Amino acid sequence: MNVSRRRFLQSSCAAVSVAPLLNTILDLRLLSSLAEAQQGDDYKALVCVFLYGGNDGSNTIVPLSAERYNEYRTMRGGLALPSGSLLPLIQKAKDGVEYGLHESMKEIQEVINRGKGALLFNVGPLNAPTTRDDFVRRASHLPPQLFSHSDQTLQWQTCMGADSRTGWAGRIADVLNGMNGEDSLSMCISVAGMNVLEIGRRVVALQVDPYSGGIKLKGFDGSKEGLARHHAFTQMLQVQRENLFEDAYAKVMKRAVENEELLGKALDAVPPLSTIFPDNYFGTQFKMIARLIAARAHLKLKRQIFFCGIHGYDTHDGQLGAHSRLLSELSQCLTALFKATEELGVSSQVTTFTASDFGRTMTTNNGGSDHGWGNHHLILGGAVKDGFYGEYPTLAFKGPEDSDQGRWIPTIAVDQYAATLAQWFGVSAGALRDILPNLSRFNSSNLGFLA
């Protein structure tokens, strides 16, 4: 059924008339933030590395100081790593404690000891600062569905209290999208399929195939038949349509075809990187991100947010061997991307950070561990101020940060983690309140790990 222009406009105006006044205020704040950001002309990129399943942060970074290591070994039991196997880090925490990385992370050890990486202790989803007493009495501000993969991944990527249909990186892109121009590619690009993190109110994330660099338009494969199909399809898209919905669909498809062509030409225009990436699916994701960064000038982009991810971190059994392999792969991929940014001369303009559903219990079950809460994360890049941030939990069952079985109650909120990244990326303090509405409940909006 055709919809007249008048009826369409009438229905649209009716919808606007009932929209909350808050949306108008939000738009004014976003415009203000954009005006501030546009004063510079620098390029910056954020790279989120999501470790699906819940990485065991307690075996990723381990205290080396004798007293703290003995506490760790007592709590971990059969999952405890030998102290002699750990890779020492030069920096000490503020309390003088030394830490070491898992033995499979020698590449990351080198980057951090060069002063290009930081570790953030015990971060996780929070609605407000939370104590063990809050958890025991089930305080109303606790995040819902704790220890659930899907729920905690959603809360991690959206930040509780915000619009659950959008992610905090997508809302950052909404604020700064004008820096890239109206006709550019999306600021948000995923090489690991759909994610909520990059969904904005206005910005739509672009899903790029990590192998081909295409956006998975089926049938346009460069073959004789594919070229003929492409020609016929583009001719169809030029047809004028009176039906508004048909016209909108045609415009979306036209933009998809144009994006496919733009990406292909931009990637073809940049020379191959000399940096070697691991020859596996995870390595392929990182290599494509590096290629897209290399093509930034051809794509006319000043801000980019990338998402990559890998599954397998739900280590309920056989953890020691599986986790070692996973961390080795992670270390090699993270380091390859960092070296690629050095090769491209943008290491101080690209910040890579890890994320995961949650941490894991300190207790063991059948050679593995269960779903946790707070976790430790890595941040890498030339703008990173090396060292340790946040507070390592007290290693004691029923201690101040233990909700149960060594499931650490976070002392740093994901909101604070995100806010620190957002401010470095160019978001103003005023816009932060709209992107992360729970942020004001915490004592700091900048954790200080970025210059």
Structural domain contains residue 30: no
Confidence of residue 215 (pLDDT cuts 50, 70, 90): confident
Structural domain contains residue 60: yes
pLDDT at 35: 40
Lowest mean pLDDT among 22-26, 51-55, 56-60: 22-26
Residue 171 phi, psi dihedral angles, 5° rounding? -70, -35
- 109-158 tens-digit pLDDT: 999 999 999 999 999 999 999 999 999 999 999 999 999 999 999 999 99
CATH number at residue 415: 3.40.720
Is the model's pLDDT at 12 over the cut of 50? no
Identify which has the larger pLDDT, 254 or 345: 345
Cα gap 420→172, rounded to integer Å: 12
Structural domain contains residue 392: yes
- 387-404 tens-digit pLDDT: 999 999 999 999 999 999
pLDDT at 246: 61
- Residue 129's domain comprises 43-218+275-441
Structural domain contains residue 151: yes
What's the gap between Cα 394 and its chain centre? 27
pTM of the model: 0.87
pLDDT at 22: 37
Share of the chain above pLDDT 90, in %: 76
Residues contacting residue 359 through CB under 8 Å, at least 6 positions apart: 54, 55, 56, 57, 58, 124, 372, 373, 374, 375, 376, 407, 408
pLDDT at 178: 93
Structural domain contains residue 223: no
Number of domains in the chain: 1
Structural domain contains residue 21: no
Report the pLDDT averaged over residues 429-444. Answer: 95
Nearest-10 Cα torsion for 82, 86, 89, 93: -30
Structural domain contains residue 77: yes
Structural domain contains residue 38: no
Is the model's pLDDT at 33 over the cut of 50? no
Confidence of residue 214 (pLDDT cuts 50, 70, 90): confident
Cα gap 427→449, rounded to integer Å: 16
Report the pLDDT averaged over residues 88-98. Answer: 95
Tell me the pLDDT of the chain averaged across its residues: 88
pLDDT at 248: 58
